[in-house]
Amino acid sequence: MQRCPHCHFPCPATAAQCGWCAKPLPAQPAVAVASPYAQTSAPPVPPPSVPPQATPPPSHQPRSSGFLVDHAPLLSVATDPSASGSAYQASHPSWASPPGYTPLTSSHVTGAPPSAPTAWKSTPAQLPQSASFTVWWLVVPALTLAVAWLLARDQVVWGHMLTTAAKALFVGAAATVLVGLLLASWQRTMRVAVGPLFAAAALGLLGGGGVFFSHTATYLQAQQAEDRGDYARAVQLYTHVGSISDALRARVEWGQVFTDEHDFPQAQAEIQLALAHTSGPEYDQARAAMGHLLWVWGQALFAKHDLAGTRAKWQSAATLAAGTADGDRAALALAAPQVVTGHMTWHGAPLPGEEVALVSSWQFTPQLHILQVQGTRLQATTGDDGSFSIQGVKPGVAYILIWQGKNGDVTQVDASGKPLYGITLQPLQGGDLGQISIDNAS
C-alpha cells in the first residue's frame, strides 16, 4: 500500500494514479515478496518405518475482498499484461488487484470516467421492483354490497332482509379473499392482499351481524306494527319469531279493538283463541278482555230489547270473567231485583186496599186447608183499581202470592194443593200475575 502525497488517500502499491484525486503517484521500487503458499522444495520423505502423513493445510486461508469473488475472470481481464503471469498472482489470486483498484471506494482508475463500468467489472443482478398496489379488487366488495341491497329490498320481513343480505355478503367475502390471494400470487407479495383480506373480513362481519340481529329486527318490526294498530301483521311477525305469548297478547288487544268497533263476533274469535293457549297473567288479561266484550255485547242487545240475548251474554261474562270488573258487573245485573204486578178483583170488581205479598217459602196442608208462610215477605197494597206492584223480587226464586183473609194468610190452590198464583222471574225481566179473583179463595 502507499498513500497519495497530495490527498493522503491509501492506494495500492501498483496503482499509477490516486483513486480519490486521480493525480499521478510516485513510482515504487519493485519488491519481491515471497508467497507463504509457494513451495520452494519438496517435503522430506519419512523413514520407511513411519507411514506417510498427509500435509497439513496452511494455517492462513486466503480472504475474499467482498467484491472480487470470481478470481479467474479478474486474472483474465487484468490491464497489466506483465502481471498476468507473475508468481504473485499465481500463488495469491484473491489478493491480486487490477491496476488502479482502490479497496475503500471500489473504483478503478483505468482512464475511464468513474461512472462508466470497467472491462473487468461484472454487472450485478437487478433486484425486483416493489409491487404496485392496485385497487381494482374494490369492484368485488362494491358489487357485493349492491347485490345484497338489491336482494334485501324485495323482502318484507326485516329479519328476512338481513339474512338474505348476509348470504350475499358471505359469498362476496369469499370472492374477495380469493381475489386477494390471486393478486398476491400474481404480484408475488402478500402486501397487496392486505386490503382484500380486510374488506372480506368487513363483509363477513356485516353478514354475521345480519344473521345475529335478524330475530331482533323481526321482533322490532312486530312491535312497530302493534303500535301502529296493525294487529294482524303483529300477530304474524310475533308468530314468525316464535314469541307465542306476544302473539296472543296482540290477539287480545286486537279483540279489544274489535269490541270498541262493535264487531263482536270477530272480537270473540280473537280473544277466545288467546284464552285457549295462554296461562298465568296473560290468561287473566284475556279473561278480562272477554268479560268486557260480553258485557258490551249484552248492552247492545239490551238496547234492542233482546233480553234473551242479553241474558246469554251476561251469564257467559259472569261465568268466564268471574272476578273481573265486567264479569262482576254482569253478575250483578243478572241478579238485580225485578217488579211483579197484578190486579185484584172481588166478584169481578176491583178490590182496592187489599194487602198482598209474595213469599218464597211456605207449607200447605190440603186436609186441614192450612197455609204456613215462612221466610221473607214482599208486601204491597192494591190501589183504587185493584192493581198492585211488588218491588225487590229476585230472579230465579220461586214465589207465591198470598193476601190477608178472615183467618190469616190466604191463597188459591188447585185440586192437588198446588198454589195457583206463583211466579219465578227471569233475570232482567219482571213478571205479571194478571187478574186475581179472590171470591173463590179458600
237's enclosing H/E stretch is helix 231-240
Specify the pLDDT at position 13.
Answer: 80
Q: What are phi and psi of 146, to 5 degrees?
A: -65, -45
Specify the pLDDT at position 403.
Answer: 86
- Write out the three cell numbers for 252: 287480545
Which residue carries 229476585 as its cell? 394
Specify the pLDDT at position 362.
Answer: 77
Amino acid type, 162: L
334-365: buried (b, 16+ CB within 10 Å) or exposed (e) per residue?
beeebebebbbbeeeebbeebebbbbbebebe
The residue among 231, 234, 214 whose CA lies nearest residue 155 is 214
Query: How far is it, in rounded angstroms, from Cα 271 to Cα 292?
Result: 11
Specify the pLDDT at position 304.
Answer: 93
Q: Work out the widest C-alpha separation in the chain, in whole angstroms.
A: 185
Query: Are 237 and 222 spatial neighbours (Cβ–Cβ below 8 Å)?
Result: yes
Query: How far is it, in rounded angstroms, from Cα 305 to Cα 324?
Result: 26
Specify the pLDDT at position 384.
Answer: 92
Query: How far is it, in rounded angstroms, from Cα 157 to Cα 146?
Result: 19
CA 334 to centroid of chain Cα atoms: 52
Specify the pLDDT at position 416.
Answer: 74
Specify the pLDDT at position 159.
Answer: 93
Report field, pTM of the whole predicted structure over 0.85: no
Query: How far is it, in rounded angstroms, from Cα 300 to Cα 310?
Result: 8
Q: What are phi and psi of 340, to 5 degrees?
A: -115, 130
Specify the pLDDT at position 421.
Answer: 87
CA 72 to centroid of chain Cα atoms: 76
Query: How far is it, in rounded angstroms, from Cα 24 to Cα 4?
Result: 8
- Write out the three cell numbers for 429: 225481566
Query: How far is it, in rounded angstroms, from Cα 237 to Cα 250?
Result: 11
Tell me the CB-side half-sphere exposure of residue 122, using CA atoms within 13 A: 12
The residue among 340, 344, 347 whose CA lies nearest residue 410 is 344
Query: How far is it, in rounded angstroms, from Cα 18 to Cα 150?
Result: 77
End-to-end C-alpha distance for the chain, whole angstroms: 169
Query: How far is it, in rounded angstroms, from Cα 390 to Cα 360?
Result: 13
Query: How far is it, in rounded angstroms, from Cα 12 to Cα 3?
Result: 8
pLDDT in tens, the chain (442 residues): 788 888 878 888 888 888 788 888 887 766 555 555 555 555 555 555 555 555 555 555 444 444 344 444 433 333 444 444 444 444 444 444 455 544 544 444 444 444 444 444 444 444 344 444 467 888 999 999 999 999 999 899 999 999 999 999 999 999 999 999 998 888 888 888 888 999 999 999 999 999 999 999 999 999 999 999 999 999 999 999 999 989 999 999 999 999 999 999 999 999 999 988 888 888 889 999 999 999 999 999 999 999 999 999 999 999 999 999 999 999 999 999 999 999 999 888 998 988 899 988 877 776 656 677 777 889 999 999 999 999 999 999 999 888 877 667 778 877 777 888 889 999 999 999 998 888 655 4
